Amino acid sequence: MKEIVINPITRIEGHAKVVIHLNDDASVRDARFQVTDFRGFEKFCEGRPYYEMPSITSRSCGICPVSHLLASVKACDQIVAVNVPTTAVLLRRLMHMGQIIQSHALNFFHLSAPDFLLGMDADPATRNIFGLIAKEPEIARQGIRLRKFGQEIIENVAGKKIHSSEWVVPGGAKWPLTKQRADYLLSNLPEALTITLKTIAMFKEWLSSCTEEVETYGDFPSLYMGLVTADGGLELYDGNLRIVDNDGKTAVDHVNPDKYYDDIGEAVEPYSYMKFPYYKPLGYPDGMYRVGPLARLNVCSHCDTPLADQELKEFKKLGKNGIVQSTFHYHYARLIEALFCVEKTKELLSDPEILSERVCRRVYVNNYEGVGIAEAPRGTLIHHYKVDPQGMIQKVNMIIATEHNNLAYNKAVTQVAQKYVKAESLQEGMLNRVEAVIRSFDPCLSCATHAVGQMPLEVQLIDSHGKLLDRKIRSPL
Amino acid sequence: MTVGTVKLKIDNVEVAVPEGTTILEAAKSNGIDIPTLCNLEGLSGYGGCRLCMVEIHGSPKLFAACVTPVGMGMEVITQSDKLREYRKMAIQFILSERTHICAVCVANNACELQKLANDLGVDHVMFEREWTRLPVDSTHDFLVLDRNRCILCTRCLRVCDEIEGVHTLDLKMRGKDAQVIIDLDEDWANSSSCTSCRKCAKVCPVGAIYVESVALEETKDKGIAEFVLSRRNRK
Amino acid sequence: MTSTSKVRVATVWLSGCSGCHMSFLDQDEALIDLAQQIQLVYSPIMDVKVFPENVDVTLIEGAVANEDQEELLKFARERTKILISLGDCAVTGNVPGLRNGITNSADAVLKRAFVETADMNPQIPTDVPTLLPKALPLHEVVKVDFYIPGCPPPADLINWVISRLMRGLPVNMEGRSKFG
């Protein structure tokens, strides 16, 4: 048996490697997506006061810290058992919109656009955001501006762009939003909307020219999971879990997130620091499901903002029974979500209640367990805590958006490898396509395992007796 | 009996202060700023943090300004490269003990230790860190004691004893392993002497004693000891 | 793109959350100006797989938590003139260091995550880089030239340090940076 190793996978939020196992005839047997680092949040939080959890777990991830803050604080809200003031909920939602806008902009412009706009076979030294600035300065600038808009929402609501953990407190929020800040955000909104609409139009035009990618980028059936509103609409902060299958049939609906463990189990493989969640009724590994933008658009019936809803209708036509299954369409789904969030931002900022000064309740421990759930940019994020009567953390379980997709990654990577990788000639573009499929999922390995660990790209050919036949290290430039 | 006046030079400025004044008080009353951490107006001097060290002309060793009385003709230096390096090192010693993670601390942005590190340009800690995992005492209704953040400045002990007058708080063990205890090392909830007056939380310079779910800047009150004394001494 | 006159910059991400890299990107439009002056030669946001030779400035985020990271850090140190600890994890160990106080911390954290909370195949992964006993700040492993504390350090501070270094000016952090 031979194997090819791609290490590290770059331009994703985190580091991982892919090991491709070959058959004796050099065809691809399977491919494994391996995650190579781990920090241990679930252990070292034990013994800490529950109200420190938002700030500690925020540090799981610098890309979606807000999602961690919110999932964590919602678990804490259950522990203190109070009704969070309406205004605090509006502000948390607003902050979350900013989070998703900035994260989706980052993935599209900073990490993925170099592939679309500079070409899959472009020189790796320039196929990045700086190459984009050089070649397509206007598009790069728009991407930077859109991400900035998202980050500024977070900053204006919570005081800091990254890890704004002081503002997020159990029972509400630390301080209200001033009119001046709300007006500032509103003044930047038209530009954000224009950029988003323009990008969607540009992407759709480009989409028509890449049928091949659509068909080979993880185009396979699976289950899909996401939160929905009471009437089945797209929802990112609250709501209930819904899981649908590939024919658009709902497997489970209106699941109270507190009971996530009735449906979701976690498995371990020896080659990865990322666990493999699966849908319990179908067992492991058959219970493969996907989360994130594509899954969310598959599980919801509508968006309750006009422009995004229009796009959603068009998007659903790409699949049978309203289920779009190619992983490549995560990109498209992300842009639709970004549009939804920009529209929602306007709606939230126009709510007179958002400037109210009552944003927090006094709190103390009333329950010894809490589950907090939110839709992070990359999918459903679950924080589950148990505390003692003094509020000291006894047990923590976190299931991270990226982890849910773990089974699907392996499937998608295998599919691409089978089509593009030929052991006799390893070309940049081929290996890059393996990476690009992972990039289209937009994994955040920082979250999932705090994965890093880079080594040179090394291609190893190993025969069935484990003997090294050939070893190639790709030169950097 | 009259108190005499002492004349001395601080940073080459002639000053005159009453006998028995500490160098720190003398400097302060003449607008010269010396960094401190364990010192607090209204409490007895302690000399524990070693941040207020000064040079005295003619002596090779350094002196803690908060517990060194002025002497006639003294020439005191409060700012020099040597002292700056020394103070930076003192901050690093404190940061290397216990588990100081500003990012996830209740005192973040309201912490005297964090601010001093910033002012002095301490941008890393050259010593290996201790990383303690001591249990947090959160048994009291609203006061929390997290010994992992305690810097052993004893402000809480002194305010509890000298101002509130109950001496609930004390220390057990020695050196860097010393720990603040409540009464005879009980859980806070079982203390028979604590009056729940919060003065310990008001004077704690870091996030070691705080009022649960109240913003630190709302709790902290460095003037509390002096204020109580001023009321107490009204004639 | 000519690279002769530009400062060669690398960014590396060890055991951190990428927040420092995000803060680097939070320079927003200043990135466009920066692109005129620096050449990014190695970074998680680009596709170069091998840490190149002759790097002028390397910004490193994250603590050193596993054997691969230790190897990469030493490799980067050999090939770079100025090495900077970027952010609290690199500077102090920060949140990844919270496991350091646990006895046999590497085993304990792995057991909790992969054995106690697993429903299927509970086991500690073996075909992965081995965790070090403690998550360390960079300067306990290699020589570090500058430190930019913060969780994350603000974008304008990162920008200030890079531009000072590019102009060969001294970098004094007094009153400028803070932990947390």
Across chain B, what does the average pLDDT equal? 96
B35: nearest Cα among B103, B157, B120: B120
Is the model's pLDDT at B42 over the cut of 70? Answer: yes
Looking at residues A9-33, what average pLDDT do you find? 70
The residue in chain A having the minimum alpha-carbon distance to the alpha carbon of residue B108 is: A166
Work out the percent of chain A whose per-residue pLDDT is above 90: 58
Work out the percent of chain C whose per-residue pLDDT is above 90: 68
Task: Yes or no: say if B83 and B54 are a contact pair by the CB < 8 Å rule.
Answer: yes
Q: Which residues of A touch C86 (CB under 8 A)?
A: none
Residue A66, by phi and psi: left (phi above 0), alpha (psi -120 to 50) or beta? alpha
* pLDDT at res. A430: 66
Distance from CA of C138 to the nearest CA of B (A): 10
Distance from CA of B30 to the nearest CA of A (A): 38
pLDDT in tens, B167-202: 999 999 999 899 999 999 999 999 999 999 999 999
A52 → closest Cβ in B104, B133, B139: B104
Name the interface residues of C facing B (CB cutoff 8 Å).
85, 88, 91-95, 97-98, 100-102, 134, 137, 139-140, 144, 146-149, 151, 172-180
As a whole number of angstroms, the distance between CA A240 and CA A257 comes to 6
Contact flag A163-B144 (C-beta cutoff 8 Å)? no
pLDDT in tens, A159-181: 999 999 999 999 999 999 999 99
Contact flag A52-B106 (C-beta cutoff 8 Å)? yes
Size of interface A-B (CB pairs under 8 A): 38
* pLDDT at res. A472: 44
A254: nearest Cα among A246, A244, A264: A244
Least confident of A124-133, A229-238, C8-17, C59-68: A124-133
* pLDDT at res. A459: 41
Distance from CA of A55 to the nearest CA of B (A): 5
Least confident of B181-185, C6-10, C90-94, C117-121: C117-121
Contact flag B139-A48 (C-beta cutoff 8 Å)? no
* pLDDT at res. A427: 57
Amino acid in position A31: A
Is the model's pLDDT at B37 over the cut of 60? Answer: yes
The residue in chain A having the minimum alpha-carbon distance to the alpha carbon of residue B214 is: A362
B139 → closest Cβ in A51, A364, A390: A390
Work out the percent of chain C whose per-residue pLDDT is above 70: 98
Is the model's pLDDT at A470 over the cut of 70? Answer: no
The residue in chain C having the minimum alpha-carbon distance to the alpha carbon of residue A432 is: C47
Name the residue with higher pLDDT: A417 or A452: A417
Cα-based angle B177, B180, B182 (whole degrees, multiple of 5) = 145
Distance from CA of C49 to the nearest CA of B (A): 30
* pLDDT at res. A273: 81
Looking at residues A321-326, what average pLDDT do you find? 92
Size of interface A-C (CB pairs under 8 A): 252
B136 → closest Cβ in A47, A56, A59: A47
Contact flag B213-A51 (C-beta cutoff 8 Å)? yes
* pLDDT at res. C46: 80
pLDDT in tens, A260-269: 989 999 999 8
pLDDT category at A118 given cuts 50, 70, 90 is: confident
pLDDT category at B45 given cuts 50, 70, 90 is: very high
B62–C contact, CB cutoff 8 A:
no
Is the model's pLDDT at A464 over the cut of 70? Answer: no
Q: Which residues of C touch B127 (CB under 8 A)?
A: none
pLDDT category at B151 given cuts 50, 70, 90 is: very high
A170–B contact, CB cutoff 8 A:
yes
Contact flag B144-A55 (C-beta cutoff 8 Å)? no
Looking at residues B31-54, what average pLDDT do you find? 96
Q: Which residues of B touch A169 (CB under 8 A)?
A: 213
* pLDDT at res. A456: 29
As a whole number of angstroms, the distance between CA A123 and CA A134 comes to 13
* pLDDT at res. A454: 30
Looking at residues C16-25, what average pLDDT do you find? 94
Is the model's pLDDT at C89 over the cut of 70? Answer: yes
Q: Hey, CA dihedral for A210, A213, A216, A217, is it positive or negative? A: negative
Looking at residues A2-16, what average pLDDT do you find? 66
Contact flag A65-C19 (C-beta cutoff 8 Å)? yes
User: Dihedral, CA atoms, C92, C94, C96, C99, nearest 10 degrees?
Assistant: 90
Give C130's Cβ-side CA count (13 Å radius): 3
As a whole number of angstroms, the distance between CA A41 and CA A99 comes to 22
Least confident of A33-42, A54-63, A408-417: A33-42
pLDDT category at C22 given cuts 50, 70, 90 is: very high
Task: Yes or no: say if B207 and B216 are a contact pair by the CB < 8 Å rule.
Answer: yes
Looking at residues C116-137, what average pLDDT do you find? 89
Task: Yes or no: say if B76 and B27 are a contact pair by the CB < 8 Å rule.
Answer: yes
Sheet containing A250-255, strands listed edge to edge, beginning at the edge strand earlier in sequence: A250-255, A240-244, A223-228, A289-290
B119 → closest Cβ in C92, C147, C174: C174
A387: nearest Cα among A79, A112, A12, A7: A79
Is the model's pLDDT at B128 over the cut of 60? Answer: yes
Highest mean pLDDT pick, A13-22, A51-60, A217-226, C44-53: A51-60
Size of interface B-C (CB pairs under 8 A): 78
Task: Yes or no: say if A203 and A196 are a contact pair by the CB < 8 Å rule.
Answer: no
Contact flag B114-C139 (C-beta cutoff 8 Å)? no
Is the model's pLDDT at A449 over the cut of 60? Answer: no
* pLDDT at res. A24: 75
* pLDDT at res. A218: 81
Least confident of A256-270, A308-322, B182-196, C72-86: A256-270
* pLDDT at res. A460: 45
Looking at residues B51-59, what average pLDDT do you find? 97
Q: Which residues of A touch C27 (CB under 8 A)?
A: none
Interface residue of B105, B106, B108, B138 to substitute, partner A, most A CBs within 10 Å: B138
Cα-based angle C63, C68, C69 (whole degrees, multiple of 5) = 20
Task: Yes or no: say if B45 and B52 are a contact pair by the CB < 8 Å rule.
Answer: no
Q: Which residues of A touch C13 (CB under 8 A)?
A: 15, 452, 454
pLDDT in tens, A376-406: 999 999 999 999 999 999 999 998 888 898 8
The residue in chain B having the minimum alpha-carbon distance to the alpha carbon of residue C138 is: B124
Report the Cα–Cα distance between both ends of chain A, in Å, rounded. 30
Interface residue of B112, B124, B128, B206 to substitute, partner C, most C CBs within 10 Å: B124
Distance from CA of C38 to the nearest CA of A (A): 10
Looking at residues B28-46, what average pLDDT do you find? 96
Contact flag A48-B108 (C-beta cutoff 8 Å)? no
Chain A residues 46-65 with CB within 8 Å of chain B: 47-49, 51-52, 55-56, 59
Looking at residues A307-336, what average pLDDT do you find? 94
* pLDDT at res. A252: 84
pLDDT category at B15 given cuts 50, 70, 90 is: very high
B102–C contact, CB cutoff 8 A:
yes
Distance from CA of B150 to the nearest CA of C (A): 16
Report helix, strand or coil for B68: coil
Helices B112-120, B81-96: axis angle to 10 degrees equals: 140
The residues that bridge with A279 in the sheet, in sequence order, are A264
Q: Which residues of C touch B91 (CB under 8 A)?
A: none
Chain B touching partners, 3 or more CB pairs below 8 A = A, C
Q: Which residues of A touch C105 (CB under 8 A)?
A: 40, 44
Looking at residues B46-57, what average pLDDT do you find? 96
Residue A232, by phi and psi: left (phi above 0), alpha (psi -120 to 50) or beta? left
* pLDDT at res. C95: 95
* pLDDT at res. A13: 55
Q: Which residues of C touch B126 (CB under 8 A)?
A: 139
As a whole number of angstroms, the distance between CA B108 and CA B207 comes to 8
